[in-house]
Amino acid sequence: MNMEQQGSIAVNQLGYRNKDAKIARIAGEGNRRFRLVNHVSGEEVWQGQTLSAFEDAASGIMVSWGDFSAWEQPGTYRIEDEDGQSSYPFMISDVVYEEAHQALLKAFYYFRCGVELEEEYAGPWKHAPCHLTPALVYGEEPRRIDAKGGWHDAGDYGKYVAPGAKAVADLLLAYECYPTAFAEPLPLPESDGVMPDVLHECRYELEWMLRMQDSETGGVFHKLTTLQFPGPDVMPEEDHAELYITPVSATATGCFAGVMAMAARVYAAYDASFAAACLQAAERAWAWLELHPDYPGFRNPPEISTGEYGDEQDMDERYWAAAELYRTTGESRYHQAFQQFARQEAFDKYELGWADMGGYGTISYLMSEQEQDPELAVRLQAGLQQRAAELAAVSSRDGFGISLKPEQYIWGSNMLVMNHAMLLLIADRLSGSPAFERHALEHIHYLLGANVMGISYVTGLGTRSILYPHHRPSEGDGVEAPVPGLVSGGPNYGKQDDYAREHLAGRAPAASFADVMESYATNEVTIYWNSPAVFVLSHFI
């Protein structure tokens, strides 16, 4: 049921910081009176008039904005309109997003593979160790590799290098930009009061990635999965099918080189030997890339039907790897390689998706303390600011304040929502001006309930949050509540699953969502949808 059918008023169900802009999204024609009500006492504390309603192309409804930014008094409130319709309750407080930030980060612990999730840390979502058997290298049987550990990628139990690298990169960038946001322990089994838990968690994935580097060539295997997906309610420890490691790919190797060079820099202050191992691995991966300048894109072998993460274009991954290796080592050969890739027009230099890693290369170069090519740095900075301005312009026209055009409500649209918010904040950071911050914050409001569905797209956060994500442990663990802190993929106009095709036909792009396990095209979860959300929340706490 979308917002129009439900007749609700959409707000961020967690709330708003005292001095931030606060806008309720109200469905319906015309403009109308609305009031702010103390949710505990029922007392009206403030009243206002909405702006004129307009047709929102993405959601397919008429929507007006009720701006109550002027009210800064802490408390728990709700919005009511003149027809008696009410929003879900929300807070106004200086402390709104800390709990959400912790939950989004703690989700990575729940994605862990190869280790027992103990009740002390996992609560009712505990489970036994899983996927401990050494994996067969596909096409090289009987060669086996012990590649246990790391994070399950999504609602299934596959483990993939390129998406994992995006997730780790987002978290390490968040730590580099906002270290104080990670001062509080989660806690984790590794929590020691010395190294922040975000780095303990990233290390768990990085150590798995190190096992995925081919000891003979330095190239990096693309993924580790079973031949087919397990059943929808199979717990990880019950998934006993043979594990396979697929062949080396250039995209995995490029992502690996980039994230390992980044890790070498970040971990140097905490564990010099681990940092050195990461850098050595990155340099071996780079050597493989240099030996294989034109390498075919990855495709699943015929017997394997799990997630492919195919990518014909590997120049963006090489661009990112060169940037991180230069930033970490200062070696001119990496700078020269970066400059060469930067001249290419074959990839986008501001995207932050697992298939388009160019944005990470640009960000690394612009944030680097190494000597820069002045002309190139100016061009990349100008391009970043232009992209951010374009996103802000779309946000200003959108009924719910976000930067997605109707055609961008694709599989994992909430990743784009958070990627865009992340890019807006980084553009601010590199320009020294908070010009885009308010638009980034609207993206958080959208994720947490200020959307046409009137739902928080994060499990366990908000009065009405998703309950039935496409996530096998949440389906099979016997616990009524889903694993908390998981970001749903969100509305998907493509409707690529049977449930969505049958039940969401005719829905507008932003309303093409179903909170059911069967709708994997709209309601799956993944590590790399959580990771940019962690980055964005880090800015606001």
Residue 254 lies in a domain: yes
Tell me if 297 is assigned to some domain. yes
pLDDT at 6: 42
Q: How many CB atoms lie within 10 A of CB 274?
A: 17
Could you tell me if 316 and 348 are in contact, meaning their C-beta atoms sit under 8 angstroms apart?
Answer: yes
* pLDDT on residue 8: 85
Distance CA 456, CA 445 (A): 9
What's the longest Cα–Cα distance across the chain? 72
User: Catalytic: which of 351, 442, 477, 524?
Assistant: 524
Residue type, 524: E
Whether 515 is catalytic: yes
- Angle at which helices 98-110 and 527-539 pack, to 10 degrees? 150
Q: Is residue 317 part of a domain?
A: yes
Tell me how far CA of residue 459 lies from CA of 166, 212, 491, in angstroms. 22, 31, 16
pLDDT value at residue 5 = 44
Q: Which domain holds residue 223?
A: 98-372
**pTM exceeding the 0.85 threshold for the entire prediction:** yes
Residue 124, judged by CB atoms within 10 A of its CB (0-12, 13-18, 19+), counts as exposed
Do the beta carbons of residue 150 and residue 205 sit within 8 Å?
yes
Q: Which of 197, 214, 283, 515 is catalytic?
A: 515
CA-based nearest residue to 522, from 413, 415, 400, 449: 413
Report which of 425, 539, 526 is spatially closest to residue 485, judged by C-alpha positions.
526
CB-CB neighbours of 478 under 10 Å:
8
Q: Which of 107, 70, 84, 93 is nearest to 14 (CA)?
A: 93
340: domain CATH number is 1.50.10.10
pLDDT of residue 30: 83
The total number of structural domains that make up the chain = 1
- Tell me if 535 is assigned to some domain: no
Q: Is residue 248 part of a domain?
A: yes
Residue 225 lies in a domain: yes
pLDDT attached to residue 41: 97
pLDDT mean by block of 10 residues, the chain; 541 residues: 60 98 94 95 96 95 96 98 94 97 98 98 98 96 95 97 98 98 97 98 98 98 98 97 98 98 98 98 98 96 96 96 98 98 97 96 98 98 98 98 98 98 98 97 98 98 98 97 98 98 98 98 98 98 94
Instruction: Please tell me what DSSP assigns to residue 354.
Output: T
> Is residue 415 situated within a structural domain?
no
> Is residue 471 included in any domain, yes or no?
no
- CA-CA-CA-CA dihedral for 108, 159, 174, 522, to nearest 10: -80
Residue 524 is among the residues annotated as catalytic for this protein: yes
Give how far Cα 239 sits from Cα of 124, 473, 476, Å: 20, 11, 12
